[in-house]
Amino acid sequence: MNTTSLGSRKNDDRIDLVSKYGYAIGKKWNVGALFNFRSQMFKGYTYDDDGNRTLSSNFLSPLMFY
């Protein structure tokens, strides 16, 4: 995102992959699983009042599986 007063800043950057898998193991029985992978692509920064930036997150950081 680019603003007149703040310059260029990262707005929203995320990778979100969701997968479901199901398998019939009998006439009345099924097994299923859900996989969720969540992270980000680019580096993230925090900015102080003077406009100086500090690295706060990197590629695939944080990385969450559930």
Q: Categorize the per-residue pLDDT at 1 as very low, low, confident or very high, splitting at 50, 70 and 90.
A: low
The domain locations on the chain are 12-65
Measured CA to CA in angstroms, residue 19 lies from 16, 26, 40 at distances of 10, 23, 18
How far does CA 37 lie from the centroid of its chain? Answer: 8
pLDDT, tens digit, 9 for 90 and up, residues 23-55: 999 999 999 999 998 888 888 888 888 878 888
pTM of the model: 0.53
H or E element, residue 47: strand 44-47
What is the percent of the chain where pLDDT is above 70?
82
